[in-house]
Amino acid sequence: MAVSPPISSPHALGSNRTRNIMLQVLLATLPGVLLLTWFFGWGTLINILLAGSFAIAIESAILRLRQRPVAFYLNDGSALVTAWLLALALPPYAPWWLVLVASGFAMVFGKHLYGGLGQNPFNPAMLGYAMVLVSFPVEMTSWPVWRGIEQLQPALTPTLGLIDGLQRVFAPASLPTDGWTSATALDLLKNNSALTLDELRAAQPAFGSMAGRAWEWISLAWLAGGLFLLYRRVYTWHAPVGMLAALAVMSLLFWNGSGSASNGSPLFHLLGGATMLGAFFIVTDPVSGATSARGRLVFGAGVGILVYVIRVWGNYPDAVAFAVLLMNLCAPTIDYYTTPRTYGHSKPKRGLGKVDQP
């Protein structure tokens, strides 16, 4: 049982082994993690620590149950990356049991029930996120206020201290329930029916100059991390560009000016909510996304369109998790229709005429 599964030949040590890629992804999230910690205090780090240890514990338990070599599979870092991305998506200071349920669901139902890494049809982190979002709407919409809010709205106090943060996570009953969370910009825009955008912006400090205050900078940090991963060739540009371009086109088409019925500017949608985190860390998942370059472009575009549709006409203020999961369902079909043609061979086989045997 302690023997590692054979790694197929050739035995050259490439630079793109799973572990290496996973570590680079973690490295690329650091600017975003730093900014999140600056704006919201220790919540994100507590999330990462909790989700990471839960995920690794659950992963090793299941590997043991499935009689797979534990050290070999833990060593590839995929469980840690899943938990890490999940922790970044969850609201800072999420209660510990929420993190436990989300990472447990991601590991068990998102990954191992389908056969482990490489077999999962859905993005495990997004599956865990969607599960807790549907199950615990109150906790999942408690977004803490950011550093600096107290100067704009004295009634609100950001949770910045480590002790306060740990109390929020483990014993929230001992703390006051009001004054530490506020609605996000996406939420306010969605529920706004009377104010023009300028009035809304003046009335609500949640709006920054581009998108949500504080969140716009965090989005830019995700963008920077994503560009680093592109530069390192961890993934290609197709899926992120597809998603961002589709979202930009959709938000341009349905912009609707600055009146009360406005759906928000393209910049607002690109830098608001989880767009950038999704574009550079979620839709680029090589397992649950489409395979070919054209396929990834279509996959990303589908996510972008769905994000906009759900944000504007759906029931949820943000939609990256649902959009990614829905497109995960479509990925096999996208692969079917976008199989690249080998140069010099016959015409690509498309549509119903395609057969799987040569």
Partner 1 sequence: MTDKRFSELAADGLWHNNPGLVQLLGLCPLLGVSSSAVNALGLGVATILVLVCSNVSVSLIRHAVTEAVRLPAFVMIIAAVTTCIELLMQAYTYELFLILGIFIPLIVTNCIILGRADAYAAKNPVLPAAVDGFMMGLGFALVLLVLGMLRELVGQGTLFANMHLLFGPIAADWTLVVFANYKEVLLVILPPGAFLFMGLLIALKNLIDNHIKARMAARDDVPVAAGSKRVRVTGTIN
Which stretches of the chain bind partner 1, using CB under 8 A? 97, 101, 109, 131, 134-137
Return the bridge partners of 293, or none. Answer: none
Count other C-beta atoms under 10 Å from residue 297's C-beta. 22
The residue (of 315 and 342) whose beta carbon lies closer to partner 1 is 315
SS3 (DSSP) at 31? helix
Q: Residue 318 is encoded by which pair of tokens?
A: 């943000």
Q: Classify 113 as helix, strand or coil.
A: helix
**Would you say 80 or 99 has its CB closer to partner 1?**
99
3 state DSSP class of 148: coil
Give the separation between CA 236 and CA 248, rounded to whole angstroms: 20
Measured CA angle at 100 (ends 98, 105), to 5 deg: 100
Q: Identify which of residues 172 and 179 has a Cβ nearer to partner 1 in the complex.
A: 172
CB of 97 to partner 1, least distance (A): 7
Per the listing, tokens 């197929």 go with 8
Number of DSSP helices (H) and strands (E) in the chain, helices first: 17, 0
Find out whether the peptide bond into 144 is cis, omega within 30 degrees of 0. no
Of the pair 174, 346, the CB lying nearest partner 1 is at 174
